[in-house]
Chain A
Amino acid sequence: MRADPSYLVISPFLFSVAILVFKKHSKLLSTLEAMLNLLLVSILFLEGDYDFYISNWVSKGIHLLVDFNTKVILLMISIVFLSVTLNSLKKDYNHHFYFFSSVFLASTNASMMAYDLFNIYVVIELASLTAYLLIGYKQKTIQLWASLKYLILSSVALNFYLLGIGIIYAYNRTFDISKIEVLPEISIVFVLVGLLAKSGIFFMSMWLPLAHSEAETEVSALLSGIFVKIGAFQIIKLLSIEAFSTARPLISMIAIVSSILGTVYAFSEKSTKKVLAYSTLSQMGFVLSGTSLANILHMFNHGIFKSLLFLTVGDSVENMEKKNFQDLKDKKIPLLRNLTLKIALFGIMGVPLFSGFVSKSLVDHEMHFTGKIGLSIAAVGTVASLWRFLSLRTQRIAKEKIRENIGYLILTTFVILVGAIGTFKMNLSDILKSLILIALGVLVYKIFKLGNISKVFEKLDNALFIYIIFCVLGLIFFTVI
């Protein structure tokens, strides 16, 4: 009998209590926790898949599933968490932060393994609660507002989710995803409202730009790297089963629209971190455009390079009064940081030899024709909106400490590693296509200028309104099909 992988949940919980007890050693404990988590996840790769029920209550218990997709995402989480923790060591975070972040780790690990609709609800609630706490961590007024806005949006969305799984229960008398047979359309719509609100899709997750851009550097990296993946992964998990497959075109459509609109907003945005936040909206569109392994790989890659971007840019912007891009441009940033920032940019833009290229091309292979066009536009937009970061200048410091940059370096390794291995397996046409798209992106960046676009979707009431509009549209979609 093999041990359950529930130790991936228990060990961060134990560490979180330990951090509360030994407050002074919270940094050390948190580092240990992150390393242990990486080790445990790596051990998972050596063994087969796990498909089991908590303490063997097959008909009544909670179903957990660890397959290859889950392992990939768990690996991403452990890498991002380790580097974020290492990056936070040089700053004055106290034990509160590490307590929140270790509970966050436990809940994200659990959410990836969960294969039970109600269990998904509970772990998402816990993860969201830690997210509210982390966003409001420094207690600036704007952070509090961002957090409260997210809280209201998320509570409403999760109530919809609960209603949806209630209806599913009424028809199947189980919450176990593998045993679902009958699915009324309305329940699919409600469940999707709940999960899309968590997954960083344009229109449904309009809490994201404010929260990501106003949170602390490490928190933004955790949110963008790990947190938005929770909802996205549940959606992919659900869409992979037969009963849910009718919703695939709907999600794919929303995802492509999101990937385009996200880049448009990112292109017009002046505030540095908001550019990255909008870019997350667009990249999550890439992730959710399908349900294949390519999308999982893009989720992995996006987690790595987006958290690297948030760490490097956030560290540079942190002590500045104005956070506009122009102000960052006047400032010089250290060599190592600038170098890793550029590698992350190559990753997200899809330059051959870097990780984003591999997964973007693979996602592209899976798409039908209109999807290909939409994603190409989004790829051009990504290059156009982020190209300006390449112009940041370097400041020479005589001796840069590796210890302070270790977080960046770990993430950079994975951007290059995945990219280098993957690129040799791609066709020449893919490389050519991505190069053309990049050239087009640069052209767009040089020629077009966009003024501020109205942020009407980000208002709390409108964001809530979108939920019900989505319900209506979803119902129309299902009746048409």
Chain B
Amino acid sequence: MRFKNLLIVISTIIVCLVTIVSLTDIPTFKISFEEFERIIEETNSLNTVTAYYLNYRLYDTIFEIFVFTLSIYGVVFFLNSVPSIEKHVPFNDPVMNFYSKFAFIISIVAAIYIALVGHLSPGGGFVAGIVAGTGMMIVSLTKNIDEIKDQFKIENISSYEKLILLSVILLTIFPVLIGKRSFQNFLPLGKTGRILSAGFIPLFDLLIFLKVMFGSWSITFYFIKHRGVV
């Protein structure tokens, strides 16, 4: 047993060292500013990371959305077979109640902002969704399970999610109908630097934001329902 562990550690260290040594001759690529200018010309997205994420490599992002959807679906599917806990004791403190609501509102506002300016500054739909999810998480620490269910309309979430998923797929093939290629940015690019520019990038950011927000809400809800608050 000792011997095996030793062997594991030694062989890992060997591979690690070889990797580090082989990294020493990595060439450095300098990217000229013209290349960035071309990206802006093609996508009108000042954040070039978003330009890759939602324009050039949108195909990958669609799969990513499905990975996220499927994982949430799996969480709900498997947790439903676990009996929900009988007694759910929220933190009942008036100060915390107030501030959690406050935090929730702030998180939603921040999330919408982050989602909408994803093509201009760091951020984007995914981060925004998780921020909104965190807000809901804080609120749900202070509430009963039924209250959470009513307030966040958990039973409707799955239908919203289907709608979002459907619109994401349809958006990717819609360009075919108007004579362009699938996954192509078919909306007008607009004026650089505006929120309503860069074609469908803000639209996708918004859809991903909603998707992730609902997803993280349902994760939080089902985890708390079947496992209790921390």
**A140 CB, nearest partner CB in chain B, Å:** 11
Interface readout for A88-104 with B: 1 if CB under 8 Å, 0 if not? 00000000100110010
The contact string, 1 if C-beta is below 8 Å from chain A, for chain B 176-201, is 10001111110000000000000000
B60 contacts A133, C-beta separation under 8 Å: no
Are the CB atoms of B166 and A126 closer together than 8 Å?
A: no
Kindly list chain A residues whose C-beta atoms are within 8 Å of the C-beta of B7.
465
Contact with B along A1-36 (1 / 0, CB 8 A): 001101100100110010011000000000000000
Central interface residue in B22, B55, B59, by most chain A CB within 10 Å: B59
Are A110 and B181 interface neighbours, CB within 8 A? no
A158 at the B interface (CB under 8 A):
no
* CB atoms of B77 and A61 under 8 A apart: no
A55/B183 contact (C-beta < 8 A), A60-B52, A171-B27 known? yes
Q: Which residues of B contact A55 (CB under 8 A)?
A: 58, 175, 180-185
Flag if B169 contacts A14 (CB, 8 Å).
yes
Which residues between 31 and 67 of chain A lie within 8 Å of chain B, taking CB atoms? Answer: 54-57, 60-62
Q: Are A3 and B71 in touch, CB under 8 angstroms?
A: no
The answer on a CB contact under 8 Å between B74 and A133 is yes
In the assembled complex, A271 has its CB within 8 A of some CB on chain B: no
**Closest approach, in angstroms, between the C-beta of A125 and any C-beta of chain B?**
6
Contact B184–A10 (Cβ < 8 Å): no
Known A139-B81, A184-B22, A468-B11; contact A126-B58, beta-carbon cutoff 8 A: no
Chain A interface SS verdict (over half)? helix
Q: How many residues of B contact A (CB 8 A)?
A: 49
Encode A121-144 as 1/0 by CB contact (under 8 A) with B: 011011001101100100100000
Query: Counting CB contacts under 8 A, is A173 at the interface?
Result: yes
Residue A241 interfacial (CB < 8 Å)? no
**Shortest beta-carbon distance, B55 to chain A, in Å?**
8
Q: In the complex, what residues of A have CB within 8 A of residue B185's CB? A: 55
Minimum distance in angstroms from B174 CB to a CB of chain A: 11
Q: Chain A residues near B55: list those with CB within 8 A.
A: 57
- Whether A61 and B23, one on each chain, are in contact in the complex, defined by CB atoms closer than 8 angstroms, is no
Q: Which of A13, A118, A133, A472 has the most CB of B within 10 A?
A: A13
| Smallest beta-carbon distance A253→chain B, Å | 19
B60, A62: Cβ atoms under 8 Å?
yes
Q: Chain B residues with Cβ under 8 A from A136's Cβ?
A: 78
- Given A10-B172, A20-B162, A54-B58, decide whether A130 and B70 contact each other with a Cβ distance below 8 A: yes
Q: Is B3 an interface residue (CB 8 A)?
A: no
Complex CA distance for A465 and B8, rounded to whole angstroms: 7
Q: State whether B26 touches A170 (Cβ < 8 A).
A: yes
Q: Contact check, B165 vs A17: say whether CB atoms are below 8 A apart.
A: yes
Residues of B within 8 A of A247 (CB): none
In the complex, A440 has a CB within 8 A of chain B:
no
5 closest pairs, A vs B, by CB? A55-B184, A60-B56, A55-B181, A55-B183, A122-B63
Additional 10 contacts, C-beta under 8 A, given A56-B181, A61-B56, A139-B78: A4-B181, A17-B162, A20-B162, A55-B180, A62-B59, A100-B70, A110-B63, A118-B60, A163-B19, A173-B29
* Interface residue? B73 (CB, 8 A): yes
Q: B67 to chain A: which residues have CB within 8 Å? A: 122, 125-126, 129
B133 to chain A, nearest CB (A): 20
CA of A386 to CA of B9, assembled, Å: 40
Within 8 A of B (CB), among A171-207: 171, 173, 184-186
| Set of chain B residues within 8 Å of A126, measured between Cβ atoms | 63, 66-67, 70
Cβ-defined contact, A465 with B4, below 8 A? yes
Q: Which residue of the partner chain A has the closest CB to B27? A: A171
Interface set, chain B 116-169, CB cutoff 8 A to A = 158, 162, 165-166, 169
Cβ-defined contact, B70 with A122, below 8 A = no
Q: Using Cβ atoms and an 8 Å threshold, which residues of chain B touch A173? A: 29
A6 touching B15, Cβ below 8 Å: no
From residue B198, how far is it (CB to closest CB) to chain A in Å? 15
**Contact A57/B173 with A110-B63, A186-B18 known, Cβ cut-off 8 Å:** no
Answer yes or no: B64 CB below 8 A from chain A CBs: yes
CB distance A468 to B60 under 8 Å?
A: no
When C-beta atoms are compared, the residue in chain B nearest to A189 turns out to be: B15
Cβ contacts under 8 Å, B59 to chain A = 6, 54, 61-62, 119
